[in-house]
Structure 1
Amino acid sequence: MTYVSGFVQPVPDSNRKAYIAAAEAGWVLFKEYGALSMMENWGDDVPEGTQTDLRRAVALDEGESVVFSWIVWPDKATADACYATMETDERWQKLDMPFDGKRMIFGGFETVFTATAKGA
């Protein structure tokens, strides 16, 4: 089964184009280091919850949107090897990060079930 790195971060609405450009540039490196796919999703319907929610999780400010992202890897070892290069491959340092990384939430997940609709 595959391995997934998941991310939730607040991004200023004014940085939407810069964020997309950064994601495209990042994909080049992630793919080089073995990622199978990457998806970036701009919040469209992110309701306030009664106990917790994505807005509170990232301390969303006025004029920001929640962005939900993931990278699919063939396995955890490939993901770990890629992330280790962030200390040694200077190209990572050159990527623009148009959001507050201190409020980003992330984690790695072992895939336990997957399904795809016919034709997808």
Structure 2
Amino acid sequence: MKNLMLFVLVVFLAVNTVSAVEKPATKEIVGEWKYEVPSAPYGYNMGTLVIEEKEGKLLGHTKLEDGYKIDLKEVTYNDGIFKCGLYVDYNYVSIKAEVKGKNMKGMVDTPDGEMPITASKVK
């Protein structure tokens, strides 16, 4: 009987330990980021990335300087790397950037080629 109770206790602790594994820290990425893509066409070269977490999933949108919003697709953040995509004038554009503190630096992959992107957290 003692062996059975010990076995149940060990299994219970093992299950709780496995389920207590931390999720990737998304707190660092959530918020507003002012971005610049100097080589992008005027109107798309500056704006704000707004990244939120709802029900354990990342989502967001970009606000262009004229106020137009574009929803982000496939938003992920793992090991300091932010990735997402969005449709710009019917073309899918993907972003991959490394986050270091309140700064982000990476590349935007567009039909016209890759373009550098930088961003700074504002909130």
Larger RCO of the pair (alpha carbons < 8 Å, separation 6+): 1
Regarding TM over 0.5, the answer is no
**What's the TM-score, normalizing by structure 1?**
0.26
Larger radius of gyration: 2
**What's the TM-score, normalizing by structure 2?**
0.26
- If each structure's strand is expressed as a fraction of its own residues, which one has the higher value? 2
